[in-house]
Structure 1
Amino acid sequence: MAAAFGGLLSLPSWAQHWTPETVAGSPLLSALEESTLADLAETIIPETDIPGAKSLGVPAYIQKIVNDCMDTKAQETLKNGLYTVSDLAQKSSGGKTFSGMDTNQRLNFLNQLNAGADEETKDFFKLVKSLTIRGFTTSEYFQTNINHYQLVPGFYHGCVPVSTGK
């Protein structure tokens, strides 16, 4: 009992050191892989008159979901797929990285990647595409500005008049 109470007393001192960097845990991807993932997400949902996937933090969402909520097979699918994208992009574009391609080249490359015969690559693209869409549609911007989500449902407007008591 005393140990639990002592732990509660020390809670504020160690909880104040929680930051996004310390809570994030071990990174799943390298800086190059993160950049490739961000550009993939931005190619799937580009920035137009509304924010794109990159500016809404979708790549961080994808990484967090895969790292914390999915099994090691999905984590390997993501890492191997990002390596494959980087490798195939350099081979097909004469040495350019995926990030170095323009938008049309990226779209053509992703269409070829999706149409390819390799099941692992298709699984990777399906994973990234679905998580990008989910990350975008669950973002605060989408929910408040496009979906017009309200935390509390609208008012109740009854159809029966109620008289006040006398």
Structure 2
Amino acid sequence: MNRRKAIARLLLFGGAGAAIAGGAGYHYFNKKPDLGDLDQYLPLIAELAEVIIPETDTPGAKSAGVHDFIATMIRDCSSRKVQNRFLYGLEDVAAYTRTKYGKSFVHCRKEEKEAVVAHFEKKSRPWEGLMGKVSSRLFGDPFFVTLKKYTVIGYCTSMQGATKAMAYEYIPGRYKGCTPLQPGQRCWATE
């Protein structure tokens, strides 16, 4: 066999292997998800959201009911890619916490929860440049990006978040596009 045939076959098998791996990954994220599992993960979602927006002098994400909002958004308003990535992310968090700490995320101490969240935030950073755009387009947003986005939206649109964590005027008068904030003032929910 000469070199040209060997190189051609090597490229052919390498390309076929890459196509099979890409097709399997594409199928993995685009199959019909089992959304019945989402209800069993509600306590985990609530604890993850509470780590992102903890309770201080204002209510936290758990008391605002953000976990129900996140489950509704994943179930009813997200594409299959996002649903699959979110469910795989929840499974990954549960497995990582069990192997690292020997207990579920819900039963971990505050410092352990923060360490797990920091690990998954670092892990789910999107790639830079063109590869990041292609990955996001093919496979959807990473798990932690989706979790943070829905946590913030759910908290800011909840009654607890809008009235107790942000400045709220029931009848806000006229619209001002740029409102200066005073030192120590909360952001506006209505202006």
Fold-level similarity (TM above 0.5): yes
Q: Which of 149, 153, 175 is 1:130 aligned to?
A: 149
TM-score, normalised to structure 1, is 0.68
How far the C-alpha of 1:148 sits from its partner, in A, is: 3.0
Match of 2:30 in 1: none
Higher share in helix: 2
1:96 is aligned to 2:95: no
- The 3-state SS of whatever aligns with 2:49 is helix
CA separation of 1:143 and 1:30: change in aligned 2, threshold 3 A: closer
Deviations 1:67-126 (A, max 9, x none): 111111111111111100000111111x11111111111111111222237868x81011
Question: Which of the residues 109, 118, 122 maps onto 1:115?
Answer: 122
Provide the aligned C-alpha RMSD in A: 2.6
Look up the equivalent residue of 1:131 and give its one-letter code.
Y
Q: Counterparts of 2:43 and 2:161 in 1: how far apart (Å)?
A: 23
Alignment partner of 1:142 out of 136, 157, 161: 161
In the alignment, structure 1 residue 37 sits paired with structure 2 residue 81: no
The SS at the match of 1:56 is: coil
Q: 1:48 aligns with which of 23, 43, 56?
A: 56
For structure 1, list consecutive stretches of 5 or more residues without a partner in the other structure. 1-25, 157-166
Amino acid at match of 2:109: D
Contact 2:124 2:145 in 1 (8 A): no
Cα distance in structure 2, aligned partners of 1:60 and 1:108: 24
CA distance in 2, matches of 1:155, 1:79: 43
> Any stretches of 5+ residues in structure 2 without a counterpart?
1-33, 127-138, 176-191
Structure 1 moving runs of 4+ over 4 Å: 117-120
Q: Letter of the aligned partner of 1:43 in structure 2?
A: V
Counterpart of 1:114, as a letter, is E
Residue 155 to residue 127, structure 1, CA distance change in 2 (3 Å): closer
Within a 5 Å distance, the mapping from 1:9-24 to structure 2 comes to none
Number of aligned pairs? 129
